[in-house]
């Protein structure tokens, strides 16, 4: 599996016969140039995970690519003339590699802010992209994309999440809200407190790794 970060929570994942784009949002870049995609996965409707202005160009460059999204994002896409398959926890599908859907809701930002749906994706039975939720699946996770910073989370919660899931490999996502000079603080703490047996990869915003 080849995983490339494209900023914030956006990933380009190549696995088996799959070529996937996950969460192309407004804080991310480089996804507009991708071709040969077999699937686009959207965890939820917030703009930092779904850029409705740039997504049409991706679809035009990848004719026939299927889009999968939580029900909230799927409805938003439909309003913009983009067809998507709405998914929910327990669903599974194949886009060249198997994908299963976990989780239900976005994490609470503040009690007066409405909660939107959130889909967490387990890709190729190995990589979990949780979206905006610290969702612990009921299956083992080999590779975990860990939200590093968010208005709905403290760093201590990210560390606890990493320890609870206890993957073999982990790397950061959702760091586009952090001033770049401060990123080593977040990466360093996650690496320092990662559980024994977990390999922490402090991948920057556009770095790639084969696992």
For the domain that residue 154 is a member of, what is the CATH number? 3.60.15.10
Q: Is residue 201 part of a domain?
A: no
pLDDT at 96 over 90: yes
Q: Is residue 159 part of a domain?
A: yes
Q: Which residues pair with 110 in a beta bridge?
A: none
Confidence of residue 104 (pLDDT cuts 50, 70, 90): confident
The set of residues, in sequence order, having a beta carbon less than 8 Å from that of 184 and lying 6+ positions away, is 202
Lowest mean pLDDT of 8-17, 84-93, 100-109, name the range. Answer: 100-109
- Do 85 and 93 contact (CB within 8 A), yes or no? yes
Domains identified in the chain, total number: 1
* C-alpha pair distances (Å), 135 with each of 55, 102, 118, 195: 26, 8, 10, 17
Alpha-carbon gap, residue 57 to 77, rounded angstroms:
14
**pLDDT for the residue 137:** 95
Note the pTM of the prediction, 2 decimals: 0.96
Q: Is residue 29 part of a domain?
A: yes
Q: Say what percent of the chain tops pLDDT 70.
A: 100
Q: What pLDDT, in 10s, does the model give residues 23-80?
A: 999 999 999 999 999 999 999 999 999 999 999 999 999 999 999 999 999 999 999 9
**pLDDT for the residue 57:** 97
Alpha-carbon gap, residue 136 to 127, rounded angstroms:
13
The set of residues, in sequence order, having a beta carbon less than 8 Å from that of 43 and lying 6+ positions away, is 9, 22, 23, 49, 69, 70, 73, 118, 119, 120, 121, 129, 130, 131, 132
Q: Is residue 211 part of a domain?
A: no
Q: Is residue 209 part of a domain?
A: no
Alpha-carbon gap, residue 38 to 191, rounded angstroms:
33
- Give the domain range for residue 100: 2-195
Alpha-carbon gap, residue 42 to 51, rounded angstroms:
10
Confidence of residue 202 (pLDDT cuts 50, 70, 90): very high
Confidence of residue 109 (pLDDT cuts 50, 70, 90): very high
DSSP state of 7: S
**pLDDT for the residue 205:** 81
Q: Is residue 109 part of a domain?
A: yes
Q: Say what percent of the chain tops pLDDT 90.
A: 98
pLDDT at 199 over 90: yes
* 175 token code pair: 């760091």
Q: Is residue 208 part of a domain?
A: no
Q: Is residue 64 part of a domain?
A: yes
When pLDDT is averaged across residues 143-164 and rounded to a whole number, the result is 98
First to last CA, the chain: 5
**pLDDT for the residue 93:** 98
Alpha-carbon gap, residue 19 to 183, rounded angstroms:
28
């Amino acid at each position: 599996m080849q995983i490339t970060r494209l900023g914030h929570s956006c990933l380009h994942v190549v696995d088996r016969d799959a070529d996937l784009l996950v969460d192309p949002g407004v804080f991310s870049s480089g996804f507009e140039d991708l071709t040969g995609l077999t699937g686009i996965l959207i965890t939820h409707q917030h703009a930092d995970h779904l850029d409705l202005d740039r997504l049409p160009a991706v679809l035009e460059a990848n004719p026939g690519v299927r889009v999968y999204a939580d029900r909230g994002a799927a409805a938003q896409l439909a309003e913009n003339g983009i067809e998507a398959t709405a998914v929910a926890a327990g669903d599974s599908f194949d886009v060249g590699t198997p994908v299963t859907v976990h989780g239900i809701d976005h994490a609470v930002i503040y009690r007066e802010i409405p909660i939107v749906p959130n889909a967490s994706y387990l890709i190729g039975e190995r990589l979990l992209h949780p979206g905006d939720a610290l969702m612990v699946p009921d299956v083992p996770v080999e590779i975990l994309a860990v939200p590093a910073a968010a208005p709905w989370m403290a760093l201590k919660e990210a560390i606890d999440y990493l320890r609870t899931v206890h993957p073999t490999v982990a790397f950061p996502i959702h760091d586009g809200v952090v001033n770049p000079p401060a990123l080593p603080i977040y990466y360093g703490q996650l690496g320092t407190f990662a559980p024994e047996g977990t390999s922490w990869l402090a991948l920057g915003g556009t770095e790639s790794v084969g696992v």
